Structure 1
């Protein structure tokens, strides 16, 4: 299971707020690693969250007995291979309404003909796949034979 992951955004506060809205959760500042970072909390029993760092932040290992550090890369691309599928209590129409309000691209896709997702492009740069309750059931039913339960 994944408890948290991080992404980068031009406006971390706003993006964290929208992600929290998808979960009916909350967002708050999260500066321990990078100044200007925010975090979206799902408010679930696993304390699921997404950290949103300023655009261009790269986590790099620190020397010796120290935490990783955040360094800004001025040459960063606006796209990344990093993405996540996130469960949402919202209906599909609510997800599309949020995307429209934000001016962010969103579309329904059926992955491999097995389960549906809403591709929501945060700031039109970072994709998250948002799954409604029905899509979550499709996703769970799509477990390949022999895969761990």
Structure 2
């Protein structure tokens, strides 16, 4: 289970506010890094999305045993358009509402069918960062597919 993720954004506060709408949660300033925000889904799993300014890097540190990590902002990375990170997040929000919220924010959004196994909604945060959202009916399909027996059948069918 993933409890929280961190993403970078050009407009962290605005991104956090939009993601909070999708997650039906709340936004708060991130206390450890100025200009960063957290989206608190307020669900039983403690789901949280940290939204940091573009160019922020997490780096290891050996002299802080409380956090073990330091946040460094490097404005030289602001030209990075895309990256390999993405996450799938279950939300209580409907498919139509997710589309409405993302569209209102000016972000690309599309419902995708993953070969008939399950559906997800791709939301391109600031049209750069991919987050996949699963409303309740999509989450049920995803969870059913990700069970060991279903995955084994998938691997046999695909000869993987």
TM-score, normalisation: structure 2: 0.85
Show the counterpart of 1:96: 99
Which residue is equivalent to 1:125?
Answer: 128
Shift of 1:46: 2.1
Question: Per the alignment, in what secondary structure is the counterpart of residue 14 of structure 1?
Answer: helix
Residues 137-146 or 107-116, more deviating: 137-146
Runs of 4+ aligned structure 1 residues displaced above 3 Å come to none
Q: Which runs of 5+ in 1 are unaligned?
A: none
Give 1:41-52 correspondences, 5 Å limit. 41-52=40-51
* 1: CA distance, partners of 2:100 / 2:77: 33
Gaps of 5+ in 2: 152-160
Larger radius of gyration: 2
Distance 1:111 1:47 in 2: 27
Query: Could you tell me how far apart the structure 2 residues matched to 1:75 and 1:9 are?
Result: 11
Rounded to whole Å, the distance in 1 between the matches of 2:31 and 2:52 is: 9
Cα RMSD between the aligned structures?
Answer: 1.6
Matches within 5 A, 1:1-149: 1-32=1-32, 34-66=33-65, 67=67, 68-73=69-74, 74-76=76-78, 77-143=80-146, 144-145=148-149
The structure that is helix-richer by fraction is 2
